[in-house]
């Protein structure tokens, strides 16, 4: 079982606790405000500890044993200075992996310089996802993997109907990889002799540019 330290129990912190709890992960939730921690242990079975403390204090943070957690999340959304200080202290104290929250590009830059392994940028990320889906005719969802590369859920272009991946030479011609197809909410592994149909969605791995060429 993986263990997680979540510092800051605002909206983002609570959503993160809920999702990690579903995955049966061990969670320590921390905040300076005791009221924000009330009911967490009763609501989520995998929340094992909810200390009330100021994590900008090095001695306090060290006492949490940050080096023992698989991932530490800094979910302080309204006080960037505290987020920056805690991120820096976590890395100094040997945290294995640190996710920190940013609301502006300049904050992301400083957090990365302070050692954050990944940046949580809630508003930007959700707006980017909505724009990516709504501005494309046949994109229903996507998961960003790295800059400019994602897994997309799309409907097959009409010119693909009735043909298979070998006939279309998709990897070489379109620079895309078909991972699976989705039928009646079930994910089915893809095979080279699969015949593309109108009523099924595809899970496709590739760059944003390559995807745009087939979803115009």
Q: For the domain 125-214, what is the CATH code?
A: 3.30.70.1450
Tokens of 111: 């957090």
The pLDDT value given to residue 181: 86
Q: Round the average pLDDT of the chain to a whole number and report it.
A: 88
Whether the predicted pLDDT of 136 surpasses 70: no
All structural domains of the chain with their residue ranges = 3-120, 125-214
Kindly write down the DSSP assignment for every residue of 78-144, as one continuous string. S-HHHHHHHHHHHHHTT-S-EEEE-SSHHHHHHHHHTT-SEEE-HHHHHHHHHHHHHTSTTEEEEEE
Residue 48: enclosing H or E segment and its boundaries?
strand 47-49
Q: How far apart are the C-alpha atoms of 88 and 173, rounded to whole Å?
A: 46
Is 50 within 8 Å of 17 (Cβ atoms)? no
Q: Which residue has the higher pLDDT, 129 or 211?
A: 211
| Structure confidence by residue, pLDDT tens digits, 96-124 | 999 999 988 899 899 999 999 998 887 77
Region of 201 please: left (phi>0), alpha (psi -120 to 50) or beta. Answer: beta
Q: Check if the beta carbon of residue 73 is closer than 8 Å to that of residue 7.
A: yes
Q: In terms of Cα–Cα distance, which of 21, 143, 5 is closest to 62?
A: 5
pLDDT tens by residue, 19-68: 999 999 999 999 999 999 999 999 999 999 999 999 999 999 999 999 99
Q: Are 28 and 37 in contact (CB under 8 A)?
A: no
Q: 32 with 83: CB under 8 angstroms?
A: no
Four-way CATH pick for 3-120: 3.40.50.1980, 3.40.50.720, 3.30.1330.10, 3.30.470.10: 3.40.50.720
pTM above 0.85, yes or no: no
Counting every residue written for the chain, the total comes to 216
């Amino acid at each position: 079982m993986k263990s997680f330290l979540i510092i800051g129990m605002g909206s983002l912190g609570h959503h993160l606790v809920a999702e990690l709890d579903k995955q049966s992960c061990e969670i320590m939730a921390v905040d300076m405000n005791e009221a924000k921690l009330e009911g967490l242990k009763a609501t989520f079975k995998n929340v094992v500890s909810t200390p009330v403390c100021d994590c900008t204090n090095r001695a306090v943070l060290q006492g949490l044993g940050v080096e023992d957690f698989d991932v530490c999340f800094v979910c302080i959304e309204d006080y960037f200075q505290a987020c920056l200080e805690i991120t820096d202290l976590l890395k100094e104290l040997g945290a294995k992996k640190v996710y920190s929250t940013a609301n502006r590009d300049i904050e992301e830059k400083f957090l990365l310089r302070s050692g954050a392994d990944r940046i949580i940028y809630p508003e930007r990320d959700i707006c980017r996802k909505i724009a990516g889906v709504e501005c494309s005719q046949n994109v229903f969802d996507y998961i960003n993997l790295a800059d400019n590369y994602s897994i997309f859920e799309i409907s097959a272009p009409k010119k693909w109907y009735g043909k298979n991946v070998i006939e279309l030479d998709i990897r070489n011609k379109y620079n895309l990889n078909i991972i699976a197809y989705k039928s009646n909410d079930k994910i089915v592994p893809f095979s080279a002799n699969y015949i593309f149909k109108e009523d099924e969605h595809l899970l496709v791995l590739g760059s944003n540019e390559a995807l745009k060429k087939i979803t115009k």
